[in-house]
């Protein structure tokens, strides 16, 4: 016999269900006056935030080609210089005027999520190799049993993308394109495909 590790097990995930908006974006869900009418994660930047303002939008698309109209999408990203606004950030101080975290429901009418944020700086892997600028996405919805993690890369960062250790490390290299947004009318567009020929790469982080 050896000593016991005495570890607990992570609580099992359950779907966020079709009513996730009540708890996470109550004003969007029509609960007037909850939390002073401000849904958490709506505002990522203030007027003093440093860096280039960008807008991004997209849809989450199921295996039949339909847009999810009841999903919730969160993003987490570095500031303009590559630091995260988090007590867990040990490398340096992030811009206090940029939260780095955003949350958006997909609209019932269009199925679109939308974020107003800034272009992130580059962040190193633990081995020191620099990653291309990217935005971490996390998707929950009815029918998704465990929240899905993926990444959005930028179409105008061809050189950085070509040396990104995550994009270049994919076994199926042709799938890297599922992680690169397109640029349409000045907005980045990132569609997430849950299934099908162009299924988005999802990560076990």
Q: Which is nearer to another protein, 106 or 186 (CB)?
A: 106
23 near another protein, rule: CB under 8 A = yes
Exposure letters 25-43 (e unless 16+ CB within 10 A, then b) = bbbbbeeeeeeeeebebee
Residue 75 Cβ vs another protein, minimum distance, rounded to whole Å? 10
- Total residues at the site for another protein (CB under 8 A)? 81
161 near another protein, rule: CB under 8 A = no
Binding residue (CB under 8 A) for another protein from 42, 49, 67, 101: 101
Q: Identify the three-state secondary structure at position 81.
A: coil
Binding residue (CB under 8 A) for another protein from 46, 55, 110, 170: 170
Q: Which residues inside 108-147 make contact with another protein, applying CB under 8 A? A: 108, 123-127, 131, 134, 136, 138, 140-147
Burial of 81 (0-12, 13-18, 19+ CB in 10 A): middle
Q: Which residues inside 48-67 make contact with another protein, applying CB under 8 A? A: 62-64, 66
What is the spatial distance between Cα 101 and Cα 44, in angstroms, rounded to a whole number?
6
Q: Please, are residues 179 and 168 in contact by the beta-carbon 8 Å criterion?
A: no
Distances, alpha carbon 203 to alpha carbons 3, 58, 94, 151, in Å: 34, 19, 25, 8
Distances, alpha carbon 52 to alpha carbons 97, 98, 191, in Å: 13, 12, 22
Region near another protein per CB under 8 A, out of 26-34, 46-54, 155-163, 182-190: 26-34
2 near another protein, rule: CB under 8 A = no
Residue 38 Cβ vs another protein, minimum distance, rounded to whole Å? 9
Residue 62 Cβ vs another protein, minimum distance, rounded to whole Å? 4
What is the spatial distance between Cα 4 and Cα 2, in angstroms, rounded to a whole number?
6
16 near another protein, rule: CB under 8 A = yes
Region near another protein per CB under 8 A, out of 47-55, 69-77, 111-119, 152-160: 69-77
152 near another protein, rule: CB under 8 A = no
Cα pseudo-dihedral 190, 95, 149, 62, rounded to 10: -30
């Amino acid at each position: 016999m050896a000593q016991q590790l005495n570890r607990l097990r992570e609580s099992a995930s359950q779907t966020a269900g079709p009513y996730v908006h009540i708890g996470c974006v109550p004003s969007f869900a029509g609960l007037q006056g909850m939390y002073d009418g401000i849904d958490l994660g709506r505002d990522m930047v203030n007027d003093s935030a440093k860096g280039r303002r960008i807008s991004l939008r997209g849809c989450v698309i199921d295996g039949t080609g339909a847009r999810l109209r009841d999903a919730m999408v969160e993003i987490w990203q570095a500031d303009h210089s590559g630091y995260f606004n988090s007590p867990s950030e040990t490398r340096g101080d992030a811009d206090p005027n940029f939260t780095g975290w955003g949350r958006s429901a997909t609209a019932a009418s269009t199925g679109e999520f939308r974020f107003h944020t800034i272009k992130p700086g580059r962040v190193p892997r633990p081995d020191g190799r620099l990653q291309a600028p990217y935005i971490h996405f996390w998707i929950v919805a009815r029918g998704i049993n465990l929240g899905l993690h993926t990444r959005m890369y930028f179409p105008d960062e061809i050189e950085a993308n070509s040396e990104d250790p995550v994009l270049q490390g994919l076994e199926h290299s042709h799938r890297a394109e599922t992680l690169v947004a397109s640029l349409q009318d000045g907005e980045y567009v990132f569609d997430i495909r849950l299934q099908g020929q162009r299924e988005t790469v999802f990560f076990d982080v």
